[in-house]
Structure 1
Amino acid sequence: MSTSLVHAKSRFMARMSGLLCCVLLGSVLAACSTSESKAAPTGQPSSTTVTEVSAAAGDSGAKPSGGERTVTDELGHEINIPAEPKNIFAPNMEDSLLKLGVKPVAQWSNGSMGHDYLQDELKDVPKLDFSAGLPSPETLMAYNPELIILHTETYAQNGNYEAYSKIAPTYVFKNASGNIEKSLTAIGELLGKTEEANKALEAYQQKVKEAREKLKEAVGDKKVAIIRFAHKGVSLMGGQYLCGYVVHRDLELGISNLVGNENSASISMEILPDLDADYIFVLNAYNQGTERMTEMMDSPIWKSIPAVKEGHVYEVSNKYWLGSGLIAYEKIVDDTVRLLTQ
C-alpha cells in the first residue's frame, strides 16, 4: 500500500473519531439538562411554584393545601395562620368554637369554674384560671396552640399580645361579645369553617324570627328590664352585649329609659321607683350577688314596683344569661319566650 494512501486513511479515521466524541458529549449534556429540569420541583424553584399556587388559590377563595394564609385582625395586626388550624386557644369564645364543632386545647375559667353551661362538651378540656389575669406564656406553651384568639383588645394590653404572638399567631377582636354574629363569621373564616358558621347563623336567625312573632303577640311594645346582681353592685343591663343584646336587639323588646343606649347603668334603692319596665329578669352573677339581691328584693320599695305587683319578675340562669355565643343566645331566646308567653 502506498504511503499517501495510508496517510489519507489515518486522516479519515481521526475525523470520524472526533465526530463521534462530539455526538457522545452532546448526548451526555442533553441528558444532564433533562435530569436537572425534572429535579427542579424538589429544589429552590419549588418555593416559587408553591407561592404562585397559593396566591392563585387565595384569589379564588380556595385554601392552599398545607399552606398558610395572611389575615389582619381588628387591631391591624397582620398574621400568618395555617390554612385550617387545629389547636385553638380562644378564652371566653368556647361557645363559638363548639358551635363550629371545634374543641379548644384549653378553656377559660374563673378559679375552678368554667362556663358551666358548656361543661358537658368541655369536661375533658383543661381549665386555665383567669381570676388573676391572663395565663403566663409559659403556661400556655404547654398546650401547643396553633392559633390564639383574644375576644377583647384589653386581653392584648400590657405586653400580652407580644408575649402570646411569640407562641402562636394571635388574632385580636376589639369586642367580640358586642356582635356575636360578626365574630362567629370571622372565627369560621379563620378556622376554615365558613359553611358551619353560615348554617349556625341561619338557624339562629330563624329561631329569633319565630320568637319575635310570639313575643309581639304576647307582650306587644311593653318594656323589659334585666337586673344583674353582682359582688360589686347592682346594674341594669343595656342592649349592647350578652343577654341584653339578645333581649333588646335580637328580640326587639323595649328597654328602660334608665339604661337607654348605654352598656349598663347602676341601680339603687333610690331610683327603683323610676324603673319603667313591665317585666323584670333578675340574675345573680356567678352567685356572688346573693346578699344584694336579697336586700333589694325584700325591701318595701321593690315590692311597690308595678312589675313586681303583677308577678312579672323572673329569676334566670346566670350560667348562660351571661354567656357569649349562639349556644347561650339560643337558650336565652327559649327562656324569654317561655317566661313571657306563659
Structure 2
Amino acid sequence: MKKVGLTASLVLGLGMILGACGSSNNAADPSTAASASPAASAPVAASASPAAAPADQGPKTITYLDKQYQLAGTKNIVVASLEAMEDAAVLGVKPVGAVTDGVKIPEYMSKAMEGAVEVGNRQQPNAEAILKLKADVIMGTSKFQAAVVEQLNKVAPMIPVSHISSNWEANLLVMGQIAGKEAQAKDIIEKYKKDAAAAKEKIAANVKDKKVLMLRVRTGSLYAYPADVYFNPSFYTDLGIAVPEELKAVKAQELVSIEKLAEINPDYLFVQFAEAENKDQPKSLEELQNNPIWKSLKAAKNGKVFVNIVDPSAQGGTSWSKLAFLDKAVAALSQ
C-alpha cells in the first residue's frame, strides 16, 4: 500500500474527480435527508474521535465479485459510500471514518456510525483525511469512475461496493470477511430469506393481480426505476409480486408524468420523498397529493399510498434497506 508521499495535487485532483462523479443522478443512489425512522438518532459531531475499530487480522486476501483484493491489515476501515455504511451498520462494524451527506453523517446512520471521523461528503471524500486515519481499506462504490478508483487505491485498497441490488448478499459478505464477521453475515442473509419467504406466502392472496409501484420524488417530479433497481427487488423478487407491464420497459431512472401514473393506476403506491432532493420544490409532494388526477388513483382512493415507510435516504438495494423495508412493506401490503 502506498500511504506516504501523497501530494497536495493528488488530494485536489481526487476532490475534483469525485465532485464531478457525484454530480450525476443514479437510480440507486438516493440523496440523503433527515427523516424519522427506527434507526435515526442524533447526528455525529464532525470532531468525533475514531470509533473502536475491529481487531486487526493482519494481511488478508479478500474475494469479492470474482476479484481478489490484497489487504495488509483490516483494522482501519473507511466507509466511503452509503452502500458500505449500511452494511457496516447491519454487522455492527465501527469504521474509523465515514462520508457525510454534505453536512453530516446521514441521520438514519448516525448512531451506527457513532465515533467515526467524517472524511468529506460522499460526492467528494477527503483523501487527506482518509490518509490521516491510516486506512487499511476503503469501502467505496461501483459508481466511482475509473480515475477515482485509481486515485483512491493510492491511499489504500479500495473495494468498489456494488450499487446493484442483486449484489446485496455479496456486499454484506465482503464486509463480513474484512471485519471477521462473515458467519454473522451469512446468518443475517439466511434469516432474511426465510422471513421474506414467509412474508411472500402471507401476502400472496392479497396482492394477486394487484399493481404495486414505488416512485421517488426528485426535483419535484416523479421517477420510476427498473424492476431490479432500488427497492423494487424487495417487491418483485423477494415477495413475488408481479412486475407491472409498464415497468418492464423501464431500463433506467425514468420520469413519470401524473398522466402516465393515472394510466398505470396502481393498487398500492409507495413514495419516497427526501427534502434534500426537493429543495427548490419543498411542497411538491403535497401538491401532487392535492392534484385531482392523483386523488383519482385507486391507491389514493383506497388509502393505499405509503410515503417514506423507511428513511428516504436508504439505498434500497442493501442489507440495511431490505431488512428495514420488509416488515413495513408487508404490513402495508396486508391492508
Q: TM-score range by the shorter chain?
A: 0.7 to 0.9
> What number of residue pairs does the alignment pair up?
273
CA offsets, 1:148-187, max 9 Å, x none?
A: 12221x3243x32222212212222453544211221233
The answer on whether the counterparts of 2:309 and 2:329 sit within 8 Å (CA) in structure 1 is: no
1:315 aligned to which of 300, 307, 320: 307
Decide whether aligned partners of structure 1 residues 263 and 216 sit closer, same or farther in structure 2, where only a CA change above 3 A counts.
farther
The answer on whether the counterparts of 2:304 and 2:332 sit within 8 Å (CA) in structure 1 is: no
2-structure distance, mates of 1:312, 1:247: 15
The answer on whether the counterparts of 1:179 and 1:241 sit within 8 Å (CA) in structure 2 is: no
Decide whether aligned partners of structure 1 residues 74 and 210 sit closer, same or farther in structure 2, where only a CA change above 3 A counts.
closer
| Structure 1 partner of 2:87 | 96
- Whether 2:330 is the aligned partner of 1:330: answer no
2:216 aligned to which of 224, 228, 237: 228
The answer on whether the counterparts of 1:314 and 1:339 sit within 8 Å (CA) in structure 2 is: yes
Decide whether aligned partners of structure 1 residues 219 and 263 sit closer, same or farther in structure 2, where only a CA change above 3 A counts.
same
CA offsets, 1:100-137, max 9 Å, x none?
A: 23111122221224333222222322333426x32232
- The CA RMSD measured in Å over matched residues stands at 2.6
Range 108-117 or range 203-212, more displaced = 108-117
Quote the offset at 1:72 in angstroms: 5.7
Amino acid at match of 1:205: K
Amino acid at match of 1:279: Y
2:154 aligned to which of 154, 160, 166: 166
Decide whether aligned partners of structure 1 residues 126 and 136 sit closer, same or farther in structure 2, where only a CA change above 3 A counts.
closer
| Structure 1 partner of 2:293 | 301
| Structure 1 partner of 2:247 | 259
2-structure distance, mates of 1:217, 1:233: 33
- Whether 2:110 is the aligned partner of 1:119: answer yes
- Whether 2:283 is the aligned partner of 1:291: answer yes
- Whether 2:229 is the aligned partner of 1:244: answer no
Instruction: Compute the TM-score of the two structures, normalised by the length of structure 2.
Output: 0.72
- Whether 2:177 is the aligned partner of 1:185: answer no
- Whether 2:210 is the aligned partner of 1:218: answer no
| Structure 2 partner of 1:341 | 334
- Whether 2:191 is the aligned partner of 1:203: answer yes
- Decide which structure has greater helix share: 1
Quote the offset at 1:320 in angstroms: 5.4
| Structure 1 partner of 2:8 | none
| Structure 2 partner of 1:28 | none
Structure 2 unaligned regions, length at least 5: 1-55
2-structure distance, mates of 1:218, 1:291: 33
Structure 1 unaligned regions, length at least 5: 1-64
The answer on whether the counterparts of 2:309 and 2:328 sit within 8 Å (CA) in structure 1 is: no
| Structure 2 partner of 1:146 | 136
The answer on whether the counterparts of 1:248 and 1:254 sit within 8 Å (CA) in structure 2 is: yes
Decide whether aligned partners of structure 1 residues 108 and 215 sit closer, same or farther in structure 2, where only a CA change above 3 A counts.
farther
Decide whether aligned partners of structure 1 residues 86 and 232 sit closer, same or farther in structure 2, where only a CA change above 3 A counts.
farther
Range 196-205 or range 240-249, more displaced = 240-249
Decide whether aligned partners of structure 1 residues 197 and 72 sit closer, same or farther in structure 2, where only a CA change above 3 A counts.
closer
Amino acid at match of 1:280: L
Please give the secondary structure, in 1, of the residue aligned with 2:213. strand
Please give the secondary structure, in 1, of the residue aligned with 2:245. coil
Q: Percent identity?
A: 23
Amino acid at match of 1:147: V
Quote the offset at 1:228 in angstroms: 0.7
Amino acid at match of 1:149: M
Quote the offset at 1:311 in angstroms: 1.9
Quote the offset at 1:251 in angstroms: 1.5
Decide whether aligned partners of structure 1 residues 176 and 69 sit closer, same or farther in structure 2, where only a CA change above 3 A counts.
farther
2-structure distance, mates of 1:317, 1:194: 29
Quote the offset at 1:335 in angstroms: 0.9
| Structure 2 partner of 1:109 | 100
2-structure distance, mates of 1:214, 1:172: 36
Q: Larger RCO: Structure 1 or Structure 2 (Cα < 8 Å, ≥ 6 residues apart)?
A: 2
Decide whether aligned partners of structure 1 residues 74 and 66 sit closer, same or farther in structure 2, where only a CA change above 3 A counts.
closer
